[in-house]
Each structure stands twice: as C-alpha cells, then as structure tokens.
Amino acid sequence: MKTRNAIIRDIANSMRSQEVIDKLSRTFSVLGDPTRTRLIFAMSKAELCVAELSELLGMSHSAISHQMRALKDLDLVRCRKEGRKAFYRLNDEHIENLFEEGLKHVLEP
Amino acid sequence: MKTRNAIIRDIANSMRSQEVIDKLSRTFSVLGDPTRTRLIFAMSKAELCVAELSELLGMSHSAISHQMRALKDLDLVRCRKEGRKAFYRLNDEHIENLFEEGLKHVLEP
DNA sequence: TTAATATATGAACAACTTTTCACATGTTAA
DNA sequence: TTAACATGTGAAAAGTTGTTCATATATTAA
C-alpha cells in the first residue's frame, strides 16, 4: 500500500509539461467565452463566412474577425478563402466532441 | 437545395438558450486556466486534499482554496470533508472525458 | 478552555480580455 | 483605373480575473 507521499510524488512525476498545460488551458480558455461558444455552435452546423456569423450573433464584422483569429490560433477552426469571403469551419471532429462533452455536462440534471 | 439565408435561419433557431451558452462557456472558462488545469490533472489521478494540492503545485493554500471554489461552483469537482481536511475529486467521468478530449487535441501532430 | 491545524473568504491590486473605433489590406466589378 | 465590398488588425477603454494578504471559521489536541 502506497503512502500519501508516494502518491503525491507519482502525480508530480506524471504531471504534463508546462508547454502542454499552457496549450491545453488556452484551448479551454478560448472555448470559454460566450461569443466564441456561440461561434463554435454555429460552425458545428455549417461552414460560415464572417458576414454570416456576424449576422447570426448580431455583432460587428470586426468583433467576429478578432474572435475567429483567437479560434484559429489554437487550431479550433480552419479557414477557406473564396474570393473576398473567408469561410470558417471546425478544424476536426475532436472539437465537436469536446463541445458535445461540455454540453452534456451542462445539460446534466 | 436550401438557400444561404435558410441555413442561417435554421442555425439561429437551433441556437441554445443564453443560459445554456453561459454555463457552457463558464465551464470551459474554468478549465481554461493553467492552475486549474493542473488541479484537474492531479485530481484525475487521485482524490487529494488542499494541502496536498498546494504542495503539488507549489502554491499557497489560499490560492488553491479559491480555485477549488471556482471548480466546485461549476460542478467540476466534489468535496468530502474528513475531520479538518477537505478532499477533492473530479465530479464525474464527464469531466475526465472532457479533459482527455482536450488533451488529445493539444497533443495532436 | 486554549493552542494548533486545515481550510475558507473578502478586499485589493496587477494582469489580462473583449469590444469598439479607425483604418489597412485584398478582391471584385465597372 | 476607381469604387465598392469583405475581412483583418492595432490601440485603447471598460470590464474581468488570479493571486496575495489578512483574517475568519471549524476541527482536533492538550
């Protein structure tokens, strides 16, 4: 049977690197803003351009563009340019799972 | 074939309530801080008391206690009192899944 | 009871974030 | 080319957050 100290030591040894912790927390942090949560929700339904997201959320193009950059910086969304439009969609199914898992927690009784 | 406008309208209609969006974003937000990310990691390995978490992270008891409250307020952790100690652990497997899913995204090539 | 221990909490300050505003960049149409 | 359009970006204001410090509460031991 392990001592309490041995347990602590084991956890300390298995702790992720600062780099991984930072990227992980920034990823959650980026999901953790109502505007971006709504953007993620919208994009879980369809690929959308800035003007459409702007209309959906009732916010300025500029505000949306700033937020899309935050999402893109952490690889949560991908961008596809078509003429002067920029279409955004979720980067992969991981993001959708992450979002769904969070939703399940929130909707729990 | 649906028009662009019809797509937008459908998404607007299926958008979650402000209440759900807010709790969801607050949940992600709470995970989105390096200190709390490390706390979640530690508790994914074992139930731990404030003093142990404090030692593990090299932070004051007060700082840990404040953060545990944030985690508890959003039902991410549960507390069990034993004498004067308070043992914390993840609230359910949802939280562990959420954390694992985030980690997968971050560790992706 | 008093002292010691473990955790919790309010206030305050520094650090960070989000939106707005003004303007820049890049693309299409005339 | 010029005008119109779609998006991107830097700076700044207003708001939010995390830690520290001092102190409070609660439990145990003497």
Domain boundaries, chain B: 17-107
Residue A98's pLDDT is what? 95
* Positions in chain D where some atom is under 7 Å from a protein CB: 5-11, 17-23, 26-28
* Domain B17-107: CATH class, spelled out: mainly alpha
pLDDT at A109 over 90: no
Residues B89-101: pLDDT tens digits? 999 999 999 999 9
Largest CA distance in chain B: 65
Residue among A105, A107, A108 with most chain B CBs within 10 A, to mutate? A105
CATH topology for the A4-107 domain = Arc Repressor Mutant, subunit A (1.10.10)
Q: Which nucleotide is nearest to B63 (CA to C1')?
A: D19
Residue A13's pLDDT is what? 97
Residues B13-45: pLDDT tens digits? 999 999 999 999 999 999 999 999 999 999 999
Nearest C-alpha neighbor of A28 from the set B75, B18, B99? B99
- Can you tell me the mean pLDDT for B41-54? 98
How far is residue B107's CA from residue B104's CA, in Å, rounded to a whole number? 5
Please enumerate in sequence order all residues whose Cβ is within 8 A of that of B77, keeping only pairs 6 or more positions apart, or say none. B43, B68, B71, B88, B89, B90, B91, B95
Burial class (CB in 10 A: 0-12, 13-18, 19+), A93: exposed
Nearest C-alpha neighbor of A103 from the set B68, B14, B70? B14
Nearest C-alpha neighbor of B27 from the set A107, A65, A15, A2? A107
Residue B21, CB-side half-sphere exposure with 13 Å CA sphere: 16
Nearest C-alpha neighbor of A89 from the set B20, B100, B11? B11
Residues 10-39 of A with CB under 8 A from B: 10-12, 14-16, 18, 20-34, 36-38
How far is residue B58's CA from residue A95's CA, in Å, rounded to a whole number? 32
Going by pLDDT thresholds of 50, 70 and 90, the confidence category of residue A60 is very high
Where do runs of H (alpha helix) occur along A15-109? Answer: 18-31, 34-43, 50-57, 61-73, 93-107
Is-contact B73 B91, C-beta < 8 A? no
